[in-house]
Amino acid sequence: MAIAEIGQLHSRYVRLSDKFKALWTYNQFATSVYKNLLRLPLPYSIDFPAIYDSIRRVSDVIQSTAGNKAVPMIEQSERDLQRSTVPLLEADQLITPPNLRRFLDSLKRKDDKKVIFFLIKFYLYADAVEGDQRDKLDFLFTRIGEDYFEARGEYWAKDPGELRRQMESLLSARPIPHYEPKEISGMVNAFRKLKADIHAAESFEKLTERGLVDDSRTLKQKIGDQYFHPDVLLAIIDCNVTARTHFLRFYTDEERQIVEDSQRLLDNEEALARGFGESNPGLMQEISRFRQLKQEFEESRAHFNVKHNLVGQLRASMNNILAQLDRVVPAPAEEMTEATLVEMHRSDTIRRKFGEDPLLHAYLLRMFSTFEAMDPALGEEKMVVAPEAQEMRLEPWEAGTYLRLFYEKSVDPQHEELLLLFLRAAALRLKIGEEATFLAAFPPQKAIEGTLLRKVKESLDRANTYDQQFVDYLHDEINYSNATNLHQLYRSRFRLLRVFSGLWLIYDHFT
């Protein structure tokens, strides 16, 4: 055989051998996870020693005078590995990203590098790179790219030069399409901006409320093979390390406070049910949801796998319970007259500004009452994250809209209509959110009274009306040329459409 042909055979053999090591490493990993974490029998049986022997014989043949016989042997070994990949991927369906995390946490960091490299290669060779497997790869790549400084309790990204060489070596297992430099630089900048936003978060609530970590995961799932471009991957790892460090920094205090607050709620659950259960079924539903979240939180703590969104949901549930208690506990008798006068004044103010609107009056009043009790000098950013406003999940500029409508002496009439639409849409989001939660709690087979469904239909119809108004404003040249107005219009519209679609799907199930 010619030297060039021998070189080509040798390259195929090296790749074949590397792929076998990746499958063998994954087999060892899956065996451990099924035995120790899932406690299930391994769902496949593969004769790895036989495959290894056949690959080893390829090397002997390549070096011999009968080198031309190596080609069919290589092709047969490639088919054997391809067939073996199928049951391994089927077994992988039960291995979740947290399982992978727990497995690696059981290894010493100085011992896990080789394992991680071949696990990554397994997914790349198998072209299993979407969904949960993208999450697993993301964790594995980040594990390679980070160093943990125990004394400071922080993660730091490794030197980008050395890291790039490692990434390029790994990514050779699965070549990616060519992308224009502009596309890659745009994606790199997107992750750098996410990193900057995460770094700027001042508290756990800020980190979770803005959905920065969720935004990062969504983007990583959506970008396809651009994820595997070395420049993009390095930016992703850098963003991941920053998110992990901030999560750990904020979580310690948050965890302690959540444990204390949630235990107090559980200790008083019986008294709450006895005192307010009959008059406020929504409160009892929220307490039931809280108990479920609390159980998930405790289970995830036990497995060292607490997710930021679970912590945010648990905190939000506690805040919702407290907010509902605030609404159902009556004021003392001596204060009732003054409180009633204040409430009447607020209702009149809402009617003068928004007109008579029975559908949204209570929700507009809730927003107005919450913000009226705050100092306007606080600023819109701090107003929406204040404890009394958090449950409404408003945008900072929606608080700014309130300030403009009720504190500025004069607002252009045409622009005032747009500001009123923003607040009406925000109020409708609150109403739809409550109705969706209430409907979702009903057993699928249980009939719902027609009055409730008619009220839900009214909310859906109003959402359609507001959506058309948003479309009209978006087609207005004045708004289209104003980047701030355009961003606010799109965001307000899409947030309303998101809750609308959720309620519609539930409503459709019962009609």
Task: Cite the beta strand spans of 44-173 per DSSP E.
Answer: 146-149, 154-157
Q: What is the pTM of this model?
A: 0.54
Instruction: Quote the pLDDT of residue 160.
Output: 86
Q: What is the largest CA-CA distance in the chain?
A: 105
Beta-bridge partner residues of 156: 147
Terminal C-alpha separation, the chain: 75
Q: Two tokens at 44? A: 């496949």
pLDDT of residue 49: 94
Report residue 152: phi and psi, to 5°. Answer: -100, -10
Residue 54 sits at the vertex; the CA angle it makes with 50 and 57, to the nearest 5 degrees, is 140
Q: What is the residue type of 405?
A: L
Write phi, then psi, for 466 (nearest 5 degrees): -65, -35
Two tokens, residue 172: 């050779």
CA 143, distance to chain mean position in Å, is: 20
DSSP 200-232: H--SHHHHHHTTHHHHHHHHHHHSGGGGGSHHH
156 phi and psi, to 5 degrees?
-130, 145
At 155, is the secondary structure helix, strand, or coil? strand
Regions of the chain with pLDDT less than 70 = 1-6, 65-67, 108-111, 149-154, 204-205, 207-209, 248-284, 286-287, 290-291, 293-294, 297-342, 344, 409-411, 413-414, 442-450, 477-481
Predicted local distance difference test score (pLDDT) of residue 502: 87
